Structure 1
């Protein structure tokens, strides 16, 4: 059996080594040149990029391959670029080894690639939603300016405490629980600055301001999430064919209605990445493969659970190595 798990949440009968999760990166992982190696090596990749170009009405492939970087990293462009590159990587991997993952997850906008892989919506519908999401978040950022910062060496409880203590300076909240002591805060600039100072006073090792254009995953994005709701609700949604962990609550998604509410809340809510990965590890997953651009999630996974295998497939060469690994499991029969 090469398909998904028999139950989305419980303990499974399959061996631990047979459980493979595919992960899809979020904004910040984009870089000029992303997807080019797939495009040059796989006909499937060329077809998907061309479909994306036609749907968007501009050459996304050129922007991914050539930049300029300033245009690529704009929220409304980075999000569809990451979505397409991640989905392309998945389809190329399937062409080399048709071993479906036992679960999928994506960080922030990466969750849309995970949903497309789980056949919740079509590639095209996912791309429309991601482009719309990026535009709404861009507009919200212009209307209510914000920023983000990473607290390195912080606990979640401490991060929440300093956010609460700094709220007299404005809106600030926990945006990402990335793992290994990395908590990202988000909100109005003055409040983020005060929170960072309080965190330093409480012993946080380092505060890293993030080069972002808004206070993503904070209450500053509520209006964007509310506007996106109607777009999500208008898309035909199906039950996932592969188990998928939701950012918003680190639980398995089972019904389309959960997807509508989850993606809506995700825009202004916290990305619970570490709890999501811990859930998969607890459920017996031991192989985690990041598909798309960069190796951010691979690095986080190695710190969250050092005993698991975490690999990245960000170009044709690394993709081939991952395909060889998956083919080994299929041939050795551990997936039966």
Structure 2
């Protein structure tokens, strides 16, 4: 029998109409959106289903939106494929998706998870507003080449490698001047560069004001040991102690996302089949670059 792991997407997967089909066909999914509206104090369901995109794309809204939609997709999977979720042996999520993975693994409730994600999104949006900054994917270059670009561009201001996604796909994050310099250098090296539609330089010290606010939001949350390993973005390891999990989540805001290492950690543990659960299919694309022969099934909100 295949050994299964679930993966959950991060920010950037949002789009107008997300979750609408699933909510219409799966009562348990529809209930999540209603519960979310009550917790958040605004109509997240309407923003997901109808937009406007300017509001949905804001970090403060997109993070709760992706979190809730991903869990709605999970409810759809449970209804369509009974028993599959119980067979899942490991889980991970990209940045924001780590919270979805922890809720799936029973480490925190939907309500606590959503409240923390709401606070995280607001804190990261405020940190981004305070320092004009951004992120860009650099494709088709080696790690060594991107490190050289990072070192040179950082002379103009803060710049870090924020996401180690897969071979040939690294994301740099920093102040606007350094991002512009990095783009010029990468293009001169024949790389393909994709500026990301995010509010600021996530997973760098530019987010430093947000980590303490996240710590405060996590303090009252009731965490328990996950029933299955959840692989952390920060160190590609699973953690069982609730207080340790909180500390790792705080560190995640200002630390690089080591997604390739997370996937390799699950593969090394014997996982043979992955499911990407949530809007979009970014993680499936990354999987093809990390382990092309490993099957990855998408369970998203367009089905």
Q: Answer whether TM exceeds 0.5 for this pair.
A: yes
Which residue in 2 is equivalent to 1:298? 284
CA contact (8 A) 2:9 2:94 kept: yes
CA contact (8 A) 1:64 1:72 kept: yes
Which residue in 2 is equivalent to 1:119? 106
Secondary structure, in 3 states, of the residue corresponding to 1:63? helix
Secondary structure, in 3 states, of the residue corresponding to 1:235? coil
Distance in 2 (CA, whole Å) between partners of 1:106 and 1:240 is 14
Which residue in 1 is equivalent to 2:270? 284
* Shift in alpha-carbon separation, 1:53–1:284, aligned structure 2, 3 A: same
Summarize the alignment of residues 39-50 of structure 1 with structure 2, pairs less than 5 Å apart: 39-50=23-34
Q: CA deviation at 1:316?
A: 7.1
Count of residue pairs the alignment pairs up: 300
Secondary structure, in 3 states, of the residue corresponding to 1:102? strand
Which residue in 1 is equivalent to 2:186? 199
Distance in 2 (CA, whole Å) between partners of 1:75 and 1:26 is 11
Summarize the alignment of residues 308-319 of structure 1 with structure 2, pairs less than 5 Å apart: 308-315=294-301, 317=303
Which residue in 1 is equivalent to 2:214? 228
* Shift in alpha-carbon separation, 1:257–1:161, aligned structure 2, 3 A: farther
CA contact (8 A) 1:239 1:255 kept: yes
* Shift in alpha-carbon separation, 1:265–1:306, aligned structure 2, 3 A: same
Distance in 2 (CA, whole Å) between partners of 1:154 and 1:135 is 33
CA contact (8 A) 2:8 2:100 kept: yes
After superposition, what is the alpha-carbon deviation per residue over 1:259-317, rounded to whole angstroms, capped at 9, x for unaligned?
11111111111111111111111222121111110111111112211111011111374
Distance in 2 (CA, whole Å) between partners of 1:211 and 1:94 is 32
Distance in 2 (CA, whole Å) between partners of 1:253 and 1:268 is 19
Q: CA deviation at 1:219?
A: 1.2
CA contact (8 A) 1:243 1:253 kept: yes
Residue 240 (1) aligns with residue 243 (2): no
Distance in 2 (CA, whole Å) between partners of 1:209 and 1:51 is 34
TM-score by length of 2: 0.95
* Shift in alpha-carbon separation, 1:179–1:204, aligned structure 2, 3 A: farther
CA contact (8 A) 1:140 1:223 kept: yes
Distance in 2 (CA, whole Å) between partners of 1:36 and 1:158 is 42
Secondary structure, in 3 states, of the residue corresponding to 2:161? strand
After superposition, what is the alpha-carbon deviation per residue over 1:184-213, rounded to whole angstroms, capped at 9, x for unaligned?
000101112222333344x35212211222
Residue 26 (1) aligns with residue 13 (2): no
* Shift in alpha-carbon separation, 1:220–1:204, aligned structure 2, 3 A: farther
After superposition, what is the alpha-carbon deviation per residue over 1:109-143, rounded to whole angstroms, capped at 9, x for unaligned?
01110010011110000000111101001100111
Summarize the alignment of residues 50-89 of structure 1 with structure 2, pairs less than 5 Å apart: 50-89=34-73
Distance in 2 (CA, whole Å) between partners of 1:295 and 1:150 is 16
Distance in 2 (CA, whole Å) between partners of 1:164 and 1:223 is 24
Distance in 1 (CA, whole Å) between partners of 2:214 and 2:47 is 25
Say which one has the larger Rg.
1
Secondary structure, in 3 states, of the residue corresponding to 1:65? helix
Distance in 2 (CA, whole Å) between partners of 1:18 and 1:188 is 44
* Shift in alpha-carbon separation, 1:125–1:102, aligned structure 2, 3 A: same
Where does the alignment leave 5 or more consecutive residues of structure 2 unmatched?
none
Which residue in 2 is equivalent to 1:12? none
CA contact (8 A) 2:29 2:71 kept: no
Where does the alignment leave 5 or more consecutive residues of structure 1 unmatched?
1-16, 318-336
Which residue in 2 is equivalent to 1:270? 256
Which residue in 2 is equivalent to 1:159? 146
Q: CA RMSD in A?
A: 1.4
CA contact (8 A) 1:187 1:219 kept: no
Distance in 1 (CA, whole Å) between partners of 2:148 and 2:223 is 38
